[in-house]
Structure 1
């Protein structure tokens, strides 16, 4: 295994004093001094991976938990597991690193899978299998498939997914470590699970569609977050709701101009079939409200507008509870998963008007027009009882890379998992 050590001193000699790496006979040294040392460690790991290193042994002093995790993030590959031996750390840190790695690798596995292999029912079953492997008989679940969704009133998920040959699915999973079937639900997680998004009749371009296997990143993130929180000792009851569908084009697809009547009585005019994520999340948020959970967290790869606002290094946060937003941002800094609040007020709900329904699902301008991310979050807020529950929405701008860069391999990053797990804890 390649031996990797750390140095707080600049590189000397032929490598140049600004070099990230200097090389020795049996390995390499990462020179992390300077601005943003964790980014430097991650960049060095990515460089080693791109140079063909496959087996790494972290050795020597200076390998804090945060630096080891930054190295893992850079060294992780798109499609295959990597061999990485942690530096000597205390037993609790080692346990935490391994748990976080297992959850991150599960996210990569399901998000990076081809859309042919990862479809709604497979995503739901993989989530059940993953969480059951962690929590055993503390997990129970219900799956609704195809027209069963209509029987229960879940019109959004059914409408988005009905054109696919592989039916839409809603998974409701209960983690109850108390053993009391009447124990209150302390939090509810809701994830957007669009396993492939063609855009529907608002058809995406090839360039816009090619990476749309990542559109179930929200479902993967909240599932892994629950797993990571359980691994860290979560003792409260939590419900997980995944709204899973393929947004396809066919003769029975939902259409622009359709009006959907949701279980809470709200009517929605479809003016963009590519604004489908909010339509399925609306079902999940209504279902979350039925649990009476005091905390509701949803996560989705929801808008390109969020990426335009914060880039791909941050996730965007939205909510009407300023204290909860501030808390989530503080936790994001603690776990080194940057997140930033964007504007959301009740009046944003009026920014997608309709002549035919209570609201439209977007606006007809490209990307939903100005303030598209805030307007999408406001649409979601209509389906949350914010008087009874604290609610926060993660627009996961940072959870996927279309191509490799200086710090990340192409594909899923796992950013958001630890942040949401910390909120649960």
Structure 2
């Protein structure tokens, strides 16, 4: 099959295509018309979805395309099942686009894989292998699995994952391009890697459970971001921590009323087994804090409350460090990704009270009650330095689409990998 050529035009489409038509066809391809568009990038995204829906499997971008225009087309054109292929426009951005697109594809494929194929160990192994492939001998890998988590004191990951026959894992990948094993760690990325979330004994409905293969979207996003930063010339030492588990029901699963004691002495009463992401992330944040890194970014598909607040267009940003929060938002703006700040104050640490422990893991009401996303962030704040200096929490509301939209395909989006990668370079 020959390539289907796609070009951009600032001229309106011929009248036979309709008033202000965004797309017209010819014998060899299509033209996207931007002349009357109030949002040219969205027009490109909608046109890309139109072409993909026509089952056009090979496109070649022709003429004058900017990096952002090509990236937007690729984000919207590339569906998860039998995706089409793209030949980039002949511009100076071709190599940059290839590196970015490789990170996009890795992130999306990881999230879109079936939960049967993506066990916690498989998630950790695939992430480790990809980072190792990119970094070679600059990358070292350590995995703590199953009962070894309990022995090491990583009680959040252990308890959430012990209900499954497939053991939970804490992955630690160390990218150290300095060649000095004693070099300080510049940043740590922590990802929630719940490969399937049934809700545990706080079981979800079938509708609520259908897309829960995406609950490891945080792990995929930070892995994709680190890989992208590495292929973009990152010179800093960065650790990647993935907190991987299946949240399932069995005779060995954790239960409501259990109390988990963490390495820092914080005790947590489980009042909702479906608020498991924060329980595994707590271990990752404790390990990240141990490294002394001045920047810690965690990413998670953590709360429905963030989606209620922001829809599926923005990722929510939380931090008690004003400078770190502003730097994260500036990185997102520079990378043309949508991030938005939500409140996090010291008092949010105490918004999930417990009579039996230092804190509960949520509030015993639907969705965790009002300010659920901020309360979840407040819970996590117990596991970093008391002032939260250098820590940014990302609640990934825009990580996954349960159905296709006019401008995005169904499934994982990989939104956020560019912003996190830039943050690693610039912080």
**TM bracket, shorter-chain basis:** over 0.9
How far did residue 9 of structure 1 move? 2.2
Aligned residue in 1 for 2:269: 269
Aligned residue in 2 for 1:359: 359
Aligned residue in 2 for 1:39: 42
Kindly indicate whether residue 403 of structure 2 is the aligned counterpart of residue 422 of structure 1.
no
How far did residue 389 of structure 1 move? 4.2
Aligned residue in 2 for 1:114: 114
- Correspondence list, 1:253-332, <5 A: 253-332=253-332
Query: Does the aligned pair in 2 maintain the 1:192–1:281 contact within 8 Å?
Result: yes
Aligned residue in 2 for 1:27: 29
Query: Does the aligned pair in 2 maintain the 1:79–1:112 contact within 8 Å?
Result: no
Query: Does the aligned pair in 2 maintain the 1:294–1:388 contact within 8 Å?
Result: no
How far did residue 81 of structure 1 move? 4.0
Q: 1:134-154, CA deviations, whole angstroms, 9 ceiling, x for partnerless residues?
A: 111111011011000011100
Mapped to 1, the partners of 2:386 and 2:85 lie a distance apart of 45
Secondary structure of 1:30 counterpart: strand
Query: Does the aligned pair in 2 maintain the 1:2–1:27 contact within 8 Å?
Result: yes
How far did residue 388 of structure 1 move? 7.6
Mapped to 2, the partners of 1:392 and 1:9 lie a distance apart of 44
Secondary structure of 1:382 counterpart: helix
Aligned residue in 2 for 1:55: 58
Aligned residue in 1 for 2:68: 66
Secondary structure of 1:343 counterpart: coil
Aligned residue in 2 for 1:345: 345
Mapped to 1, the partners of 2:91 and 2:271 lie a distance apart of 54
Could you state the TM-score of these two structures normalised by the residue count of structure 2? 0.97
Kindly indicate whether residue 17 of structure 2 is the aligned counterpart of residue 8 of structure 1.
no
- Correspondence list, 1:167-178, <5 A: 167-178=167-178
Q: 1:263-318, CA deviations, whole angstroms, 9 ceiling, x for partnerless residues?
A: 00000000000000000000000000011100000000000000010110111100
Mapped to 2, the partners of 1:60 and 1:421 lie a distance apart of 29
Secondary structure of 2:251 counterpart: coil
Could you state the TM-score of these two structures normalised by the residue count of structure 1? 0.98
RMSD over aligned Cα atoms: 1.0
Aligned to 1:83, which of 68, 82, 85? 85
Q: 1:226-247, CA deviations, whole angstroms, 9 ceiling, x for partnerless residues?
A: 0000011000100010000000
How far did residue 2 of structure 1 move? 0.4
How far did residue 386 of structure 1 move? 4.7
How far did residue 346 of structure 1 move? 0.5
Q: Which runs of 5+ in 2 are unaligned?
A: none
Secondary structure of 2:379 counterpart: helix
Mapped to 2, the partners of 1:19 and 1:135 lie a distance apart of 46
Query: Does the aligned pair in 1 maintain the 2:319–2:388 contact within 8 Å?
Result: no
Query: Does the aligned pair in 2 maintain the 1:41–1:70 contact within 8 Å?
Result: yes
Mapped to 1, the partners of 2:13 and 2:376 lie a distance apart of 48
Mapped to 2, the partners of 1:265 and 1:145 lie a distance apart of 22
Which deviates more, 40-49 or 10-19? 10-19
Give the aligned length.
Answer: 422
Aligned residue in 1 for 2:144: 144
Q: 1:29-70, CA deviations, whole angstroms, 9 ceiling, x for partnerless residues?
A: 001232111111111101100111110000012x00000000
Which deviates more, 186-195 or 320-329? 320-329
Mapped to 2, the partners of 1:318 and 1:327 lie a distance apart of 12
How far did residue 82 of structure 1 move? 2.5
Mapped to 2, the partners of 1:223 and 1:17 lie a distance apart of 44
How far did residue 132 of structure 1 move? 1.3
Q: 1:63-97, CA deviations, whole angstroms, 9 ceiling, x for partnerless residues?
A: 0000000000111111234210010111xx21211
